[in-house]
Amino acid sequence: MNNVILEGIAIRKVFGGLIALHNVDFAVQKGSITALIGPNGAGKTTLINVISGLLRPDAGCIKLYTTVISGLPSHDIARHGIARTFQTAQIFAHMSVLENVMVGMHVRTRSGFFSAALRLPHVIREEHHIARRAAACLETVGLSNCAHQLATSLPIGSQRLLEIARALAAEPRILLLDEPAAGLNTQETRALGELILRLKAQGITIVLVEHDMELVMDVADEIIVLDFGKKIACGPPLSVQTNPDVIRVYLGQET
Amino acid sequence: MDMTRHRDLIAFIILVAFIPLLFKNPYYINILVFIGIYSIAATGLNLLMGYAGQISLGHAAFYAVGAYTSGILTLRYQVPFPAAAVLALAGAALLAYAIGMPCLRLRGHYLAMATLAAGEIIYIILNAAVPVTGGPSGIAGIPSLRLGPYDLDTDTGHYAVVWCLFVIVLILSRNILDSRIGRALRSLHSSEIAAGSLGVPVARIKLQVFVLSAVYAALAGVLYAHTVTFISPQTAEIMFSIQLITMVVIGGMGHLWGGVVGAAIVTVLPELLSAFHDYELVIYGCILLIMVMFLPGGLVRWVQRCIEVRMAPLMRKRS
């Protein structure tokens, strides 16, 4: 099985004196769920930010199949089919839940400034399409009943689901989830796990940063463990769980 | 065209058409003309400030550029009014593009300062380039509104032209807001990072809305020049930029009708408070402060909420 969709080669990111990512290599299999774990400050979010183009790596490169995407601005990376959610939900505050998701369709639609101003027939057709698709994305995450509410009126758990729906609207090939379970209760976390598996079944490749080990072990096909910016282990959940380095990092065992 | 989107606009058009019948006094019609002119500029600034969350303290400059370009072209080069107006808008668009390119990389206070500086530069140029702009004494004798064979140099003529253009501006603005471009520009307001991660080209969208709002300001300036038939560098003063911002804040940031409501209040207020002329800036400052503290959504939203609260018991009774 060698069907790598996303590959990172010797990625390095330095903030001042801190090496946030130290020559990290990784490979994500198409259609899999890859979890990125590690203690706080291990560089997980930095890696997600580098993949999604929010940060430029100082060295190394990231390839989507054979296309180098590292160094592109984030909106170009989104166009390549990589969508993401954020550790602290970044909801568009002055917009309704549905409109938030409709923004996600930006890369999949094309009407421009002037045709929009004149509301030409193809713009109207596209608007109908956008509304339908966005509603479908809301249904996928189970937020259909609050489509017309103001997005900020949602509880935090629903805001996270909204972010996922918004990312799905971009019809991503790869979905990056940055701690989607943070702030969710057990029930919500279980529902989230089911949602993630459903998305995988739809053929979306998922990269998941998560602290909730139960969730990670339930859904991940592959786990990458980071510690102080270095990759210390990777492999299927069972082998990672028994890896002595990982146990040391998580339990603080003396070597 | 789906008319349900424009129900409020249809009501508004009827209102605008009937108002001149109520006010026979040309003084009132004249004030309404100015309200219309300012509404156009304020609606543009609202797109930039209220919806996209980008502050411009230099919008008076675009207003002045529109006014001067159209004024000079019609007066000195006998260019017919509509053509001169189009050239003026194009000029303002180019200028906004040139200013916006570097400035819009900045955020928040820095963007405000950069646009303030750009506005001041234009103000200084208008004062200094005497052979072209007439310097501090300005340009007098600008031809009044004329559309081909139709002379529109009457109060009702001005009124009709200004408010027709305002309605067009409103329709175009609403169309943009209800499109993917509009949603993209509204998304910038809360999170440029999230917008970018969804494929919204943040810098380009910002530049587009900046140019559009500058074109609206220039259109207002054009109408001003041909209504008053005299222009001076005063039109480019920072004071006017602040007035425009006051209009948007009072009316309602991020509300399509905020621009008109704000323009009406800020235009009528000095007429009522003419005794306090020297304290104009202080009064604007106080109004801005009070609005931001107590009615951050602006008057339009406040009225909307009041109506909703009043209606709620009735609605409950019915159901």
Last residue of a domain, one of A130, A146, A170: A170
Residue in chain A nearest B200 by alpha carbon:
A75
> In chain A, which residue's Cα lies nearest the Cα of B193?
A54
- Interface contacts (A, B; CB < 8 Å): 108
Residues A166 and A176 in one domain: no
A183-239 residue pLDDT tens: 899 999 999 999 999 999 999 999 999 999 999 999 999 999 999 999 999 999 999
Let me know if residue B314 belongs to a domain: no
Residues A134 and A158 in one domain: yes
Which residues of chain A does B198 touch, with a Cβ-Cβ cutoff of 8 Å?
75, 78, 83, 103-104, 106-107, 166-167, 170
**Position A88 in a domain:** no
- Both A29 and A55 in one domain: the answer is yes
Q: Which residues of A touch B179 (CB under 8 A)?
A: 111, 116, 119, 123, 127
Residue B319's pLDDT band, with cuts at 50, 70 and 90, is low
Alpha carbon distances (Å) from A25 to A37, A66, A217, A232: 15, 16, 22, 11
Distance from CA of B81 to the nearest CA of A (A): 24
Contacts of B304 in chain A (CB under 8 A): none
Kindly report whether the global pTM for this prediction surpasses the value 0.90: yes
Q: Single out the residue in A151, A170, A189 at which a domain terminates.
A: A170
Task: Indicate whether A44 and A107 sit together in one domain.
Answer: no
| Residue at B138 is within a domain | yes
Would you tell me which residues 32-71 of chain A have a C-beta closer than 8 angstroms to some C-beta of chain B?
52-54
How does strand A82-84 pair with strand A67-68? unpaired
- Number of domains comprising chain B: 1
* Residue B243 maps to a domain: no
User: Do residue A179 and residue A147 come from a single domain?
Assistant: no
Residue B37 resides in a domain: yes
Instruction: Tell me the per-residue pLDDT of B45-101, one tens digit each, with 9 for 90 and over.
Output: 999 999 999 999 999 999 999 999 999 999 999 999 999 999 999 999 999 999 998
Answer yes or no: is A128 within a domain: yes
Domain co-membership, A183 together with A76: yes
Q: What is residue B297's predicted lDDT score, i.e. its pLDDT?
A: 80
Are B187 and A92 in contact (CB < 8 Å)? yes
Residues of A in contact with B202 (CB under 8 A): 75
Interface test with B, best of A54, A119, A164 (most B CBs within 10 A): A119
If asked whether residues A11 and A137 sit together in one domain, one would say no
Query: Domain count of chain A?
Result: 2
Residue B315 located in a structural domain: no
Q: Is the domain of A158 the same as that of A215?
A: no
Structural tokens at position B281? 């800036």
Please report whether residue A86 resides in a domain: no
Q: Which of A113, A115, A168, A174 to mutate to test the interface with B (most CBs of B within 10 A)?
A: A113
Domain of residue B176 covers 3-237
* Dihedral sign from CA coordinates of A106, A108, A112, A117: negative
Residue A161 forms part of a structural domain: yes
Domain annotation covers residue A159? yes
Judged by average pLDDT, the poorest of A78-87, B5-14, B92-101, B157-166 is B5-14
Q: How far is CA A103 from CA A108, A184, B32, B103, in A?
A: 10, 25, 38, 25
Same domain for A246 and A125:
no
Backbone angles phi, psi at A190, to 5 degrees: -60, -45
Residue A230 to residues A220, A233, B84: CA-CA distances in angstroms?
20, 9, 64
Q: Is the dihedral of CA B220, B223, B226, B229 positive or negative?
A: negative
- Dihedral angle computed from the Cα positions of residues B274, B276, B280 and B286, in that order, rounded to the nearest 10 degrees: -120
Q: Are residues A30 and A62 in the same domain?
A: yes
Q: Is residue B297 in some structural domain?
A: no
Question: What CATH number corresponds to the domain at position A197?
Answer: 3.40.50.300
A138 touching chain B per CB within 8 A: no
Residue B208 lies in a domain: yes
Which candidate, A105, A86, A224, A99, places its Cα nearest to that of A152?
A99
What domain range is A114 assigned to?
A: 93-170
Predicted interface score ipTM higher than 0.90: yes
